[in-house]
Amino acid sequence: MAERRLLVLFGSQTGTAQDTAERIGRGAKRRHLRCQVEALDSCDVANLIHEPLVVFVCATTGQGDPPDNMKMFWRFLFRKNLPAGSLCQLDYAVLGLGDSSYPRFNFVAKKLHKRLLQLGGNPLLPVALGDDQHDLGPDAVIDPWLVALWDKILALYPLPPGLEIVSPDVCLPPRYTLHYLPEDCPHPASNVLQPAAPGAAPCQLHPFAARVLSNQRVTAQSHFQDVRLIEFDIAGSGITFSAGDVVMIQPQNCPEDVQQFCQLLHLEPHRHFVLEPTEPGTSLPPLLPQPCTIQYLVTHYLDISCVPRRSFFELLACFSTNELEREKLQEFSSAQGQEELYSYCNRPRRTTLEAMWDFPHTTCAIPADYLLDLIPHIRPRAFSIASSMLAHPERLQILVAVVRYKTRLSKPRRGLCSTWLASLNPEQGDVRVPLWVKKGGMKFPADPATPVIMIGPGTGVAPFRAAIQERVAMGCRGNCLFFGCRYRSKDFYCQTEWEELVTKGLLTLFTAFSRDQEEKVYVQHRIRENRRLVWELLSNGNAHVYLAG
């Protein structure tokens, strides 16, 4: 009988595709299939020719782009020299996750499905296109598609005699077991931020611990929005960047939340543990030291401030000994309960920690072994770089609006990364932030004579500050900026800098302060007022136009 094995590969930007891939992996284990779940860029693409059965779960990002963790796979798959029948032994299925409010809806999944067909693959089902805009989210498509998928897979690979599908009420083993070390055992101090290999630039697995040099509020104290200009020291990091590039920052949870979490689950923050994979072939989570403390795990790894997904409630229901709580958890993890789950979690942006408070009997029964199955890891956040290396060598600056807003919950919602960054005070010692740089989507003209029209309301001006600094240092003159904010006196970021450049004839600046007069004035009004100049730059100067929000 053919070996019953399934490979689930995902391309995920925000974690939804990974969460869905892991859900499929759990479904496979319940059907006694040997199953591996991994990111597309982590698998050896050349080995696909030996795989009998693969499910691809792919998100589409931006303007129809593949997620970061499948870019190498994407380039390989579309090589012209791949033979037409190279995947003829492959049975596959493609599940796409996208948003129909974007023009290239689920472009990656559609294109992948087509390419696998060209290479001789045999589709088990038509490509499924999950849509964020649906009232029930992508699950409206995923749920029925999975029913059909398991029917197809079990027809090809029937259950071995004497085995039945493991009931959803039965808890699958955790991915890792957590072994506490004796309290008196010496623990080597492990430096988590392993530097990148000599000559290699910092990356997600090897971020650079950059020292915070300054953290300056650039909005008036009386203004509702707290916006920071933060400067990092990147000397000796090997980091290089140009205007339009992006810095990735790995944030951490606030001490109060960490303390609450440990209290709720009766965890001792300073206990050391080591992780052991339950199944051979499972790699340990990167960026977690071995041994590690509970405090480190909760502060730097577990995303206790994210809005929990359906899979969180599904696993929580397994641990529940309280009938009322278990019923509610089962409802939240059922297909019928998705509307109610959306109202409970997504609409008010309730955090994982807050959801745990609402299920106290269940929460205190969570085995520590399951923490990494239950709660995803903290994702890095992307910021446009707001400075140029030509103007500020060995420095990197960002412009950060601190995210804070109200929902129907009594406590205001706060952005994890921006709140943490705003709290850092370099005057209180050596404060460091793990970061690395990625190429951005904006490319500024190589020819210094090409004029540039930049439209950057609010913190959208960040990449243009980098571009203007870079272009001025290179002697480019055709710099035209349309900047908009609410009040000249409260949130006119980098005012002095712009005015100096205007005086020197290096910048043409148009400002729109929407609340400084009766009728609201926005950047589009200033563009219309200056249409002759804009048209002149476009038609005769071949100007490039850039817009950032």
- Measured distance CA(515)–CA(511) in Å, rounded: 12
| Model confidence at 1: pLDDT above 70 | no
181-208: average pLDDT: 77
Checking if the pLDDT of 372 tops 70, the result is yes
pLDDT at 190 over 60: no
Contact, 468 vs 444, CB < 8 A? no
Q: What pLDDT does residue 517 have? A: 95
358 contacts: CB under 8 Å, gap ≥ 6? none
User: What residue ranges do the domains of the chain occupy?
Assistant: 5-156, 208-251+380-438, 255-374, 452-547
pLDDT more than 70, % of the chain: 98
Residue 22: its pLDDT value, please? 95
Percent of residues in the chain assigned helix, strand, coil, to nearest 5: 35, 20, 45
Q: Per the structure block, which two tokens stand in for 105?
A: 């809806």
Q: Are 112 and 119 in contact (CB under 8 A)?
A: no
How confident is the model at residue 179, as a pLDDT?
96
For the chain, the C-alpha Rg in angstroms (whole number) is: 26
Report whether pLDDT(471) > 70. yes
- Token pair 């609410």 is at which residue? 486
Span of 136-140, 274-278, 467-471 with lowest mean pLDDT = 136-140
Rounded CA separation 80/512 (Å) = 50
pLDDT beyond 60 at 191 = no
Inform me whether the pLDDT recorded for 533 exceeds 60.
yes
Query: Which residue is listed with tokens 């891939």?
Result: 21
The Cα 420–Cα 436 span in angstroms is 17
Q: Span 346-366, mean pLDDT?
A: 97
Nearest Cα residue to 194 out of 382, 378, 434, 530? 434
Count other C-beta atoms under 10 Å from residue 521's C-beta.
Answer: 17
Query: Do 501 and 273 meet the contact criterion of CB atoms below 8 Å apart?
Result: no
CATH topology of domain 5-156: Rossmann fold (3.40.50)
Peptide bond into 291 cis (omega under 30): yes
Higher-scoring residue by pLDDT: 47, 509: 509
Q: What is the pLDDT of residues 271-299, one digit of tens each?
A: 999 999 998 878 899 889 999 999 999 99
Query: Candidates 3.30.70.20, 1.20.990.10, 3.40.50.1100, 3.40.50.300; correct CATH number of 255-374?
Result: 1.20.990.10
Residue 369 C-alpha from the chain's centroid: 25
Residues 90-103 have a mean pLDDT of 96
d(CA 12, CA 493): 34
pLDDT at 159 over 80: yes
d(CA 322, CA 426): 47
pLDDT, residue 128, reads 97
Percentage of residues in the chain with pLDDT exceeding 90? 89
pLDDT at 183 over 90: no
Question: What pLDDT sits at residue 187?
Answer: 66
Same fold, 5-156 and 452-547: yes
Reported confidence tier of residue 194, pLDDT bands at 50, 70, 90? low
According to DSSP, residue 135 is labeled T
Q: For the whole model, what pTM was predicted? A: 0.92
Nearest CA to 471 out of 540, 403, 408, 543 is that of 543
Q: Could you tell me if 360 and 350 are in contact, meaning their C-beta atoms sit under 8 angstroms apart?
A: no
Instruction: Please state, in angstroms and rounded to a whole number, the distance separating the CA atoms of residues 521 and 518.
Output: 9
Residue 20 has pLDDT above 60, yes or no: yes
How does residue 168 score in pLDDT terms, banded at 50, 70 and 90? confident
Mean pLDDT of the chain: 94
**Six token digits for residue 515:** 């609340």
User: Tell me: the pLDDT tens digits for 418-457?
Assistant: 999 999 999 999 999 999 999 998 999 989 899 999 999 9
- Which residues, in sequence order, are bridge partners of residue 53? 91
Yes or no: domain 452-547 corresponds to CATH 3.40.50.80: yes
Give yes or no for residue 66 having a pLDDT over 90. yes
* pLDDT higher than 90, residue 137: no
Nearest alpha-carbon partner for 258 in 370, 420, 406: 420
Written in H, E and C, the secondary structure of 520-544 is: CCCHHHHHHHCHHHHHHHHHCCCCE
Residue 465's H or E segment, with its range, is: helix 462-473
- pLDDT value of residue 238: 96
User: Helix axis angle, 16-30 relative to 139-156, nearest 10°?
Assistant: 30
The CATH number fitting domain 208-251+380-438, selected from 3.40.50.1100, 3.40.50.620, 2.40.30.10, 2.70.150.10: 2.40.30.10
Over range 316-338, report the average pLDDT.
Answer: 94
Classified as helix, coil or strand, 455 is strand
